[in-house]
Amino acid sequence: MATTKVFAPAKINLTLHVTGQREDGYHLLDSYVVFADVGDRVTVAKAEDTSLTITGPMAEGVPADPGNLCWRAADAFGQPVAITLEKHLPMAAGIGGGSSDAAATLKAMEKLYNQPAPFDPITLGADVPVCMVAHAAHMQGIGDWVLPLYQEPLNAVLVNPRIAVSTPEVFRALPRKDNPPMTPWPEGGGFPAVVRWLSEQRNDLQAPAIALQPVIGTVLSALDALQGCALSRMSGSGATCFALFATAQDAQAGAARLAADHPDWWVTACALK
Ligand code: C5P
């Protein structure tokens, strides 16, 4: 097989508790992570030299150079490849676009060369290990401890107000680094139990991100106002926020409404699992 294509789904932190900080500055996290059925697409082909071509509706402004995480993943793998990245996710958005692209590049190269990546994916970024799993997982440590889980698909709307957020800046603005971890999640009980449990958990980065970018508060209010919205929260260090709905119809109607009211926002209905 000379070409491999791998889906790079959006990563959503349904919860993100910051429970400590290491001496090297990295934060200890406790996070319930899920993945969307929307995302980027990475195609990898054997080549003489490594190259990166970026296409798709969100290609603008994404660097197609050796600093791109896809390119860095290929360099670390140690084989020259021609990479095509079809970009559908906004950049610096708290939904792991770059990390998911790097993980997809690694998976494509593992398939292409029939060998595992010869290094620890965490060296590419804290979110890359969970993005290798690409479905529901409990993430701890700085992102290096990942326990895959099963999650019944959740109907969601994702919104990004097209403001790039700097992750280090949001972490720096977090007043307390030693917040309580998550409480154990419910076994069974369906959507109502998931929402009840999630409503008792947090994203500790949400308040500092809103302080830096007040529009995130506007996005959350707009999601809360949608008919059938069961819960809204920011993902990662923002600015993307998600809302959960009992039915796909409600999520789709909510997304259509928001897209009409805010044509400048990135809005999509999706399933998370
Ligand atoms: O690992 P990655 O490059 O994705 O992280 C981006 C930045 O986010 C880091 O430089 C660090 O400032 C912050 N970060 C952190 N603790 C984590 C993950 C990321 O402080 N567990």
Ligand 1 nearest-atom number relative to CA 29: 21
How far does residue 221's CA lie from ligand 1's centre (Å)? Answer: 28
Ligand 1 center to 142 CA (angstroms): 8
Percent of the chain with pLDDT over 70: 100
Q: Is 90 annotated as a binding residue?
A: yes
pLDDT, tens only, 189-223: 899 999 999 999 999 999 999 999 999 999 999 99
User: If you measure from the C-alpha of residue 12 to the centroid of ligand 1, how many angstroms do you get, rounded to a whole number?
Assistant: 16
* Domains of the chain with bracketed CATH: 3-147 (3.30.230.10), 151-272 (3.30.70.890)
Chain segment 236-272, per-residue pLDDT in tens: 999 999 999 999 999 999 999 999 999 999 999 999 9
The CA distance from 206 to 240, in Å, is 10
Query: Which ligand 1 atom sits closest to the C-alpha of 125?
Result: 1
The model's pTM is 0.97
Cα distances (Å, whole numbers) of residue 268 to 39, 157, 273: 11, 6, 16
Question: What ipTM was assigned to the predicted interfaces of this complex?
Answer: 0.96
Q: DSSP of 107-168, one letter per residue?
A: HHHHHHHTS--SS-GGGG-TTHHHHHH-S-EEEEETTTEEEE-----EEEEEEE-S----HH
Q: Which atom of ligand 1 is nearest to the CA of 126?
A: 1
Asked whether residue 92 is marked as a ligand-binding residue, the answer is yes
User: Are 257 and 226 within 8 A, CB to CB?
Assistant: yes
Q: What interhelical angle do 97-113 and 69-77 show, nearest 10? A: 30
* pLDDT score of 1: 57
Cβ–Cβ contacts within 10 Å for residue 201, how many? 20
Mutational pocket test of ligand 1: of 27, 144, 145, the residue with most ligand atoms within 8 Å of the beta carbon:
27
Closest CA to 50 of 26, 72, 23, 32: 72
